[in-house]
Amino acid sequence: MKLLLRWLITAATLLLATNLITGFSVSNFYVALIAALVLGLLNAIVRPVLIILTLPVNILTLGLFTFVINGLLIWFMSTFVKGVEVSGFLPALFVALILWAVGVLTNWLLHAGKE
């Protein structure tokens, strides 16, 4: 149930980012659901490999390079999900920051009831 809720929240956040960030657009909610699914798969499969490969840089930047990796994954996702347009790296980085902030809030809300 929580996985489905996170998937819907990520899709809604992608639509929200469309309104906040110029250079990033998602055509509709169905495309946002597909983009969120693809982004989740990329985060589960490709992101750990990239984190390990860039570990020295990530340590030097105190983990901030992870945002760069997330931005690159969003940019990569937009190349093969039709209906998602990213005009460059900076809009993808800003979308990664918004997804991070909403993810932190979602984690806090989902785990607040357990304490």
For residue range 57-88, list pLDDT tens digits in order: 999 999 999 999 999 999 999 999 999 999 99
Segment 15-24 shows an average pLDDT of 96
**Residue 28: φ, ψ to 5°:** -160, 180
Please give the Cα distance from 108 to 1 (Å, whole number).
Answer: 16
Cα–Cα distances in angstroms (integers) from residue 2 to residues 6, 12, 43, 99, 111, in the given order: 6, 15, 17, 17, 11
Question: Confidence class of residue 110 from pLDDT cuts 50, 70 and 90?
Answer: confident
29 domain-assigned: yes
Residue type, 82: K
> Looking at the DSSP assignment, which residues form a beta bridge with residue 24?
86
Segment 16-35 shows an average pLDDT of 96
pTM of the model: 0.91
Residues, the chain, total?
115
Strand, helix or coil for residue 53: helix
Q: Which domain holds residue 73?
A: 2-110
115 domain-assigned: no
31 domain-assigned: yes
DSSP string, 17-48: HHHH-TTEEE--HHHHHHHHHHHHHHHHHHHH
95 domain-assigned: yes
Segment 81-105 shows an average pLDDT of 96
| Total tally of structural domains belonging to the chain | 1
Does the pLDDT of residue 113 top 70, yes or no? no
Share of the chain above pLDDT 70, in %: 97
